[in-house]
Chains A and B, each alone.
Chain A
Amino acid sequence: MTSWTNARPWVHWAGMWLVLLGTWIACDRFWPEAPWVRTSSEPLEPMRPLALKPVFETRGSVTSKHVSLGDANRLEATAFLDSLPDELPPSWRLQGRTSAWYALAGFLNLLPEAQGRRVEVYHWGDSQIEGDRITGVLRESWQRRWGGRGPGWVLPVMPAPTAATVESTTGTVTRQAGFGRGRNLEALRLPFFATNSVRDSARWSVRGNGASSSSLTGWTTTEVWGDMLSSIRATLHNESGTLTDQSLAPNWTRWEHSPAAHKLELRLEATQLQGVFLGSDKGVLVHNLPLRGSSGTLFDNVPAEDWVHLKEHHPPDLVLLQFGGNAVPGIQSPAEARGYARRLSQNISLLRATFPGVPVVVLGPSDMGESEADYPGLAWVVAALQTEVSRAGALYWDLQAVMGGSGSMAEWADRGWAGSDHVHFTRRGAREVGRRFEAALHHEWRAMIRPRLNVDAVAP
């Protein structure tokens, strides 16, 4: 070796480069990949077995919101759904820990009570629920069965027009979002994580879209929430004329009116709106709250006073979170997926601490792209969400599995249930997702509530 390396310099250098480049190419070609290199087909960790569902006692209280179930026949008549098969496909079922099922049972118990009180469902999600998609299906079905009127929270300017209302605006109303492109942290206000503001003057009128659902019209409670509202003039109309015409209090105004209103008209001047509530004091209210571009990790950034207000005036009875789709394209490793899932679960914990006993259900990201290779992070995100959502005490509904698993989005697009971007559902697809989610809840209702109902009904 020594004599060879003492040869003419050129030979020495040629040998040196040969050895170094040979080592490089050999390692590049033949060495196994580093252990941290993963492919999308390898989830973060083995899928955890789903938590066993609670076995409900046939007698006694099972929930923190125990209610009397009343007349068995009445409840049977108002059963959740009638048209779906008894046996739910396993992949459609909710996943989570026992405590989460108890919380859900509390919500399901409340539904029969909705004729005497208001039951509110908050559906926060990304662009997948824009335009009242999925939410509208749930609202229509539940309001038909359990009562309740109105679309819930609305705003003049949303990222996409909602099918729940018919609106007209004159003047300039601008939307500031606390998330997504051009985010403004000061606009991170409940319930939309965004505000609408008017610098000069504008006029906005809104009515429920009876073409979508008859229960959207004729609401009996109106509220306006925001800042500097005293300059607003509000007029409520019903079919025969004006119900009321009045100025608003600075931050929050609420009217209960009878007969029901069909149209609200606001004359806005130098003001900032957080939300306008069009609903009722009884029945089920399902709020469609789309946060386009968000991954659902900003709940703990919202000012505390907004949570206090919401808890005081509109406490949720069920929270649905439909996020993850915006995180998937940027996820490059299982660690990042877990980081995202933990951040989301931190937000779930905040919701559960703010509204004790209220069930939180996370609807995971849909299948995306034409093949698994399009979004390698999807499998990691789903695996991480299954683990972390469950740990945070919420239930997880695996939308990708519900759709048919990896690669199913292409089939949904072929059926006209998803758009050509292979990410977003069409209205028909959203209706299908809504029905399947409703079926999953119905399945829980059958498992948890009906057995008790039957026993109670035959009890002396």
Chain B
Amino acid sequence: MSQITFTTWEFWAAFAGVFLTVAGVRQILPSSAQDPNLRKGMLLVFSLGLYAIAARHLTWILVASVAVNHVLALAIHRQSGVMRTSLTALAIVLNVAGLATFKYAYFVADLFPGISARLAWGAWRLDEWMLPLGISFYTFQAISYVVDVHRNTIEKPASFLSFATYITFFPQLVAGPIVRASHFLPQLESPKWVASRGEDSRHVQLILSGLLKKVLLGDLVGAWIVDPAFDRPGEWFSWEVLLALYGYSLQVYADFSGYTDMAKGMAGLLGIHLPENFRFPYRATSPSEFWRRWHMTLSSWWKDYVYIPLGGNRQLSSVSATLTLGAVIVAAWAWGELGGWLVVAGGALLVSAAMLMSLSFSRRVATAVNVFLVMLVGGLWHGAHLNFVMWGALNGLVLAGWALLRRSPSSPPLRFLGWFVTFHTVVFSRIWFRAGSLISWDESTSAPHPERAWETALALLHQMQLPSPNWGDSVWDPTYLAGLGLMGAGYALHLAPASWRTLLQEKTTSFPMWVTWCLWCAATALAVWCSSSYHKPFIYWQF
């Protein structure tokens, strides 16, 4: 098994082994001998083993992160006052430095071609140490843990075994959900080691529905509708590019939420409840609502550990004010003319004056600025590329504008307008998001290379402005039509009333066991059959 991927039978065979081992030990041991540490130990060994298979020589980074954060958390807990704050700051700096070294060094190398080679040191090459699997996720969990210890949200630091199990728990290690220690750690002490017989069906169904989501709506729509347009944007008509953008939004949702469903299903079978990560995000009628429905654990993390410390919706902190001032100066400098300087500086002065005169306006501006900064950093978190910064900035601007308006749509037409604007903001900003993984052509060798994300995003935008010829000139071949059909079905399921889904769930849970098993086998067969040709990694694994 070369990869720890949820779409291979080898992975599921390994998981079945883990599950049956934990369940078997639980069943064999007498109650008095059922030590939670035994369960934690088994989970830790399995988690590290699976991670090591996928990440190989980068596994030590995860181990080091666990060790350092555990030691620092203990130290933070024992100290008080300035020392406590300093240790917390040190922990945050070390975590961010680790992330910067192993994730964002790539960003620097991308901006300055050739730097990667120059950073080689003997057999140690920077590019071999880039992007350890799941580093963004486990680093954020570690930061939340030490900050929670600092804030006393966690009364007592966990034991090393508990903490290591929390950070490395394999169902959510690679791409979340980002779990808080206060939610996870108590579950490790529970006497319930695996799901009960009554609950297991729900978790297996979650796994299978996640797999189908990933394969049918993620991979196939991606392969048939999205990839061709993004790989060679100049060859597709404007409305085909538009359909590709709609397709990509469905693909990324199906891919990520499918992963989350499988992670939740696996964790559930192992007796751990993971928090919800998606709540029908494309039904949102405002940008802020969208981010409360999309990747909820990350949004909540940003809110608690970045947005509120920046001042939240109350005030501009000194950090926000400094960053904003810097942005204003950069904007004025970028304008490059005296008139531009005057416009930017005058605008900044006017806003400052209005903030001084009106507390309400001041809070709106604080919300707008802080939310923009969070989205900007959030873009960078997603990927070490200017495209992701642009994606974060676009979403941040829309969120900031919404914060300034601060009106929730109430009437149906306004709600529809809010939904339309929100959905299309998400769809179009993902031009930059998706373009980050494009392949284009190397002039010198005529070989594909992945370095033209920015240019390709511009090319896509340009392509969308060109007049389209007749519909008959499009690529109406069966796979394209099937892709459109899957896309339509995916959006219909997503936007369908919640009561329909509840009804469907009730129906399926009331089937006799043999019918349920037959349905599971059919779903497995369908997923395997459909994934035979387009085997794609999970999109969020790269983050």
For window 219-275 of chain B, which residues contact chain A by CB distance below 8 Å? Answer: 223-224, 227-228, 231-232, 234-236
Q: With an 8 A cutoff between CB atoms, is A182 at the interface?
A: yes
Contact A127 B530, beta carbon cutoff 8 Å: no
- Contact partner of A293 (CB less than 8 A), chosen from B441, B469, B521, is B441
Using a CB-CB cutoff of 8 Å, which residues 509-525 of chain B contact chain A? Answer: 512-514, 517, 520-521, 524-525
Do the beta carbons of A27 and B462 come within 8 Å of each other? Answer: no
Q: Would you call A34 and B235 a contact (CB within 8 A)?
A: no
Q: Is residue B306 within 8 Å, beta carbon to beta carbon, of the partner chain? A: no
Q: A2-B513, A13-B200, A338-B477 are in contact. Are A33 and B532 (CB under 8 A)?
A: yes
B448 and A329 within 8 A (CB): yes
Given contacts A181-B441, A326-B441, contact A17 B532 (CB under 8 A): no
> Are the C-beta atoms of A338 and B475 separated by less than 8 Å?
yes
Q: Is there contact, CB below 8 Å, between B232 and A126?
A: no
CB atoms of A8 and B27 under 8 A apart: yes
Chain A hits for B525, CB < 8 A:
23-24, 27, 31
Convert A42-72 into 0s and 1s, putting 1 for each residue whose CB lies closer than 8 angstroms to a CB of B: 0000000000000000000000000000000
Which residues between 434 and 470 of chain B lie within 8 Å of chain A, taking CB atoms? Answer: 439-443, 445-449, 451-452, 455, 458-459, 462, 466, 469
Give the chain B neighbours of A339 by CB distance below 8 A: 228, 232, 235-236, 475
Please tell me which one of the listed residues B455, B479, B480 contacts residue A182 in the complex, with CB atoms under 8 A apart: B455
Of B9, B20, B451, most A-chain CB atoms within 10 Å: B9
The winner among A27, A301, A327 for most chain B CB atoms within 10 A is: A27
- Minimal Cβ-Cβ distance residue in B for A345: B473
Which residues of A sit under 8 angstroms from B528, Cβ to Cβ?
Answer: 23-24, 27-28, 31
The smallest beta-carbon distance between B522 and chain A, in angstroms, is: 9
Most central of A9, A33, A424 by chain B CB within 10 Å? A9
Give chain A nearest CB distance to B118 CB in angstroms: 21
Instruction: Give complex CA distance A25, B224 in Å.
Output: 26
Q: B442 contacts A16, CB within 8 Å?
A: no
Establish whether residues A298 and B517, one from each chain, have CB atoms under 8 Å apart when the complex forms: no
A1-40 vs B: 1/0 string, CB under 8 Å?
Answer: 1100100111011101101110111011001011011000
Q: How far is the CA of A327 from the CA of B236 in the complex (A)?
A: 13
Complexed CA–CA distance, A1 and B514 (Å):
7
Q: Is the CB of B452 within 8 A of A346?
A: no
**Beta-carbon nearest neighbor of B16 in chain A:** A17
**Does B204 have its Cβ within 8 Å of any Cβ on chain A?**
yes
Given A27-B524, A31-B528, A329-B448: A340 in contact with B466 (beta carbons within 8 A):
no
Q: In this complex, what residue of B is CB-closest to A327?
A: B232
Given contacts A25-B9, A127-B446, contact A33 B473 (CB under 8 A): no
The answer to whether B451 touches A17, judged by C-beta atoms less than 8 angstroms apart, is no
Taking a contact as CB atoms under 8 Å apart, the answer to whether B524 and A340 are in contact is: no
Contact A126 B473 (CB under 8 A): no
Residues of the A chain whose Cβ atoms lie less than 8 Å from the Cβ of B448: 329-330
Residues of A contacting B333 in the complex (Cβ-Cβ under 8 angstroms)? none
Give the shortest distance, in Å, between B245 (CB) and chain A (any CB).
Answer: 16
Residue A238 at the chain B interface, CB threshold 8 Å? no
Of listed B23, B234, B447, B451, residue having the most chain A CB within 10 A: B234
Residues of A within 8 A of B335 (CB): none
Q: Within the complex, what minimum Cβ distance (angstroms) separates B249 from chain A?
A: 21
A interface SS class: helix
Known: A300-B466, A335-B480. A12 touches B197 (CB 8 A): yes
Shortest beta-carbon distance from B239 to chain A in Å: 14
Q: For residue A161, which residues in chain B have a CB less than 8 angstroms away from its CB? A: none
Instruction: Please count the residue pairs between chain A and chain B whose beta carbons lie under 8 angstroms apart in the complex.
Output: 162
Give chain A residues whose Cβ lies under 8 Å from the Cβ of B196: 9
Nearest Cβ on chain B to A281's Cβ, whole angstroms: 35
A50 to B163, CA, bound (A): 71
Please encode chain A, from 320 to 335, with 1 for each CB lying within 8 Å of some chain B CB and 0 for all others: 0000011101101111
In the complex, A335→B475 CA distance in Å?
Answer: 7
Q: Give how many B residues have a beta carbon under 8 Å from the other chain's beta carbons.
A: 61
Q: How far is the CA of A20 from the CA of B197 in the complex (A)?
A: 17
A36 and B533 within 8 A (CB): yes
Instruction: Please tell me if B409 contacts chain A, counting CB pairs below 8 Å.
Output: no
A424 to B443, CA, bound (A): 13
Q: What B residues does A5 contact at CB under 8 A?
A: 513
Q: Is A335 within 8 A of B228, CB to CB?
A: yes
Report if B478 contacts A (CB, 8 A).
Answer: yes
In the complex, the answer to whether B529 meets A34 with C-beta atoms within 8 Å is yes
Report if A183 contacts B (CB, 8 A).
yes
A28, B517: Cβ atoms under 8 Å? Answer: no
Contact B20 A295 (CB under 8 A): no
CA A327 to CA B525, docked complex, whole Å: 34
CB distance from A90 to the nearest CB of B (A): 29
Specify which of A19, A335, A338 is in contact with B517 (CB 8 Å cutoff).
Answer: A19
Q: How far is the CA of A74 from the CA of B204 in the complex (A)?
A: 86
Q: Chain A residues with Cβ under 8 A from B442's Cβ?
A: 181, 293
Evaluate contact between A335 and B513: CB separation under 8 angstroms: no
Contact present for A295 and B228 (CB under 8 Å)? no
The answer to whether A325 touches B446 (Cβ under 8 A) is: yes
8 Å CB interface, A276-306 against B: 292-293, 295, 297-298, 300-301
- Taking a contact as CB atoms under 8 Å apart, the answer to whether A16 and B204 are in contact is yes
Q: How far is the CA of A37 from the CA of B220 in the complex (A)?
A: 12
The answer to whether A97 has its CB under 8 Å from any CB of chain B is no
Residues 420-433 of chain A, each 1 if its beta carbon lies under 8 Å from chain B, else 0: 01011000000000
Q: Do the beta carbons of A10 and B231 come within 8 Å of each other?
A: no
User: Known contacts A8-B27, A335-B228, A340-B235; is A293 also within 8 Å of B446 by CB?
Assistant: yes
Decide if B479 touches A21 in the complex (CB within 8 Å).
no
Asked whether B530 lies within 8 Å of A34 as measured between CB atoms, the reply is: yes
- Chain B residues lying within 8 Å of A297, measured Cβ to Cβ, are 232, 234-235
Asked if B123 lies at the interface with its beta carbon under 8 angstroms from chain A, I say no
In the complex, B19 has a CB within 8 A of chain A: yes
Q: Is A265 at the interface (CB under 8 A from chain B)?
A: no
Contact B234 A342 (CB under 8 A): no
B13 at the interface (CB under 8 A from A): yes
B24 within 8 A of partner (CB): yes
B513 and A33 within 8 A (CB) = no
Contacts of B530 in A (CB 8 A): 34
Q: In the bound complex, what is the Cα–Cα distance between A332 and B479 (angstroms)?
A: 13
| Complex CA distance for A422 and B105, rounded to whole angstroms | 35
A185 CB-CB contact with B under 8 Å: yes
- List the 6 shortest-distance A-B pairs measured between CB atoms, nearest first: A343-B235, A17-B16, A37-B533, A27-B528, A293-B443, A24-B9
A-B residue pairs in contact (CB < 8 Å), sample of 30 = A1-B513, A10-B23, A13-B23, A13-B200, A16-B200, A16-B204, A16-B517, A24-B528, A25-B9, A27-B528, A27-B529, A31-B529, A31-B532, A36-B479, A126-B446, A183-B459, A292-B446, A295-B232, A298-B234, A329-B447, A329-B448, A330-B232, A330-B448, A332-B227, A338-B475, A339-B236, A342-B473, A342-B475, A346-B473, A424-B446
